[in-house]
Amino acid sequence: MFNIINLKEVTSTMDVIKNYPVNTIVVADRQTKGRGKNDREWISNESENLYISLSVESKNKNVNYSYYTFLSSVVVIEAIKSLITEDINIKSKWPNDVLVNGKKFCGILLERDLQRNFIVIGIGINVNSHPELIDKMLFKPTNLLEEGISIKKEEILEKFVNIFEEYSNRLLNEGFEWLRKEWLKYAYNLGKEINVKLKDLQVNGIFEDIDKDGTLLIMTEAGIAKILSGDIF
Ligand code: BTN
């Protein structure tokens, strides 16, 4: 289903993918202008890590744009788990990070190509190295190798593509409910107290659930709060 394009150095795979038809995966060894959520930089000068973008069509009514972050997190987790035998502490952090041993090694960025009706999913995986913690980062970074998980980036990519194809077909055919349950199996701090940073305020409460739109539901002193976007920290 996906056409895979391997490139050495790009500004950002998020930009380069716009030169290709839908259902393309662009993989780059390095990015000179890698970007993350909220215009944060995604440092990408190490060819030993994975930087990929995928384009998918956004026409299907069953599929809300945000479902692709849940899908990508679950696929990253299952790809990694399928490559190792030992048990690992790997978690999906709402809405778009993946953690190992409580530290971030993978970030997911969703953008829309409105002209062509595409969704572009960008995924950065720190396989063998990670940037130093800087102020703008809300979560401590790490890489898989440092956490004792030694796998090749090519192996992760191959598994990722296979599982992504299978699960995205399932999402199109069956909708979000099975994926919501699958994502919740790995959810970081589910049932525990969390802090969520919104644009201008912070909300504290117990992480209860995510609803059928992917909205975060937390129990605060004032009752259930539905949060559409923010950062858990
Ligand atoms: C985040 O955690 O804020 C999301 C980070 C997304 C990084 C990836 S790396 C591949 C793709 N190209 C980019 O410029 N960003 C995404």
- The 10s digit of each residue's pLDDT in 13-65 is 999 999 999 999 999 999 999 999 888 899 898 789 999 999 999 877 677 88
Rounded Cα gap, residues 55 and 111, in angstroms: 10
Q: How many Cβ atoms sit within 10 Å of the Cβ of residue 210? A: 22
CA atoms of 5 and 96, how far apart (whole Å): 24
Please tell me the distance between residue 65's alpha carbon and the centre of ligand 1 in angstroms.
17
Confidence of residue 137 (pLDDT cuts 50, 70, 90): low
DSSP code for 147? G
- Mean per-residue pLDDT for 86-114? 94
The model's pLDDT over 166-205, given as tens digits with 9 standing for 90+, comes to: 999 999 999 999 999 999 999 999 999 999 988 888 999 9
Task: For the chain, give the percent of residues with pLDDT over 90.
Answer: 79
Query: How far, in Å, from the CA of 61 to the mean position of ligand 1?
Result: 26
**What is the pLDDT, as a whole number, of residue 69?**
95
Residue closest via CA to ligand 1's atom 16 equals: 122
pLDDT band at 135 (very low <50, low <70, confident <90, very high): low
Q: Is 39 helix (H, G, I), strand (E, B) or coil?
A: helix
User: Does residue 13's CB lie within 6 angstroms of at least one atom of ligand 1?
Assistant: yes
What is the spatial distance between Cα 9 and Cα 136, in angstroms, rounded to a whole number? 25
Q: Whose CA is nearest to atom 9 of ligand 1?
A: 124
- Judging by DSSP bridges, how do beta strands 118-125 and 231-232 pair with one another? unpaired
The response to whether residue 14 sits with its C-beta less than 6 Å from ligand 1 reads yes
pLDDT of residue 231: 83
CA 71 to chain centre: 8
Task: Name residue, tokens 């994926």.
Answer: 179
pLDDT band at 1 (very low <50, low <70, confident <90, very high): confident
pLDDT band (50, 70, 90) for residue 90: very high
Partnered with residue 207 across adjacent β-strands are 218
The pLDDT-based confidence of 230 (bands split at 50, 70, 90) is confident
Q: Give how far the C-alpha of residue 172 lies from the chain's centroid of Cα atoms, to the nearest Å.
A: 19
Residue 3 has pLDDT above 70, yes or no: yes
Cα 76 to middle of ligand 1, angstroms: 14
Closest protein CA for atom 7 of ligand 1: 124
Per-residue model confidence (pLDDT) at position 58:
82
Ligand 1 pocket check for 53: Cβ under 6 Å: yes
In this prediction, residues 76-81 reach a mean pLDDT of 98
Distance separating alpha carbons of residues 54 and 14, to the nearest angstrom: 8
> What is the reported pTM?
0.95
Residue 102: pLDDT above 70?
yes
| Other C-beta atoms lying within 10 Å of the C-beta of residue 52 | 23
Centre of ligand 1 from the C-alpha of residue 230, in Å: 17
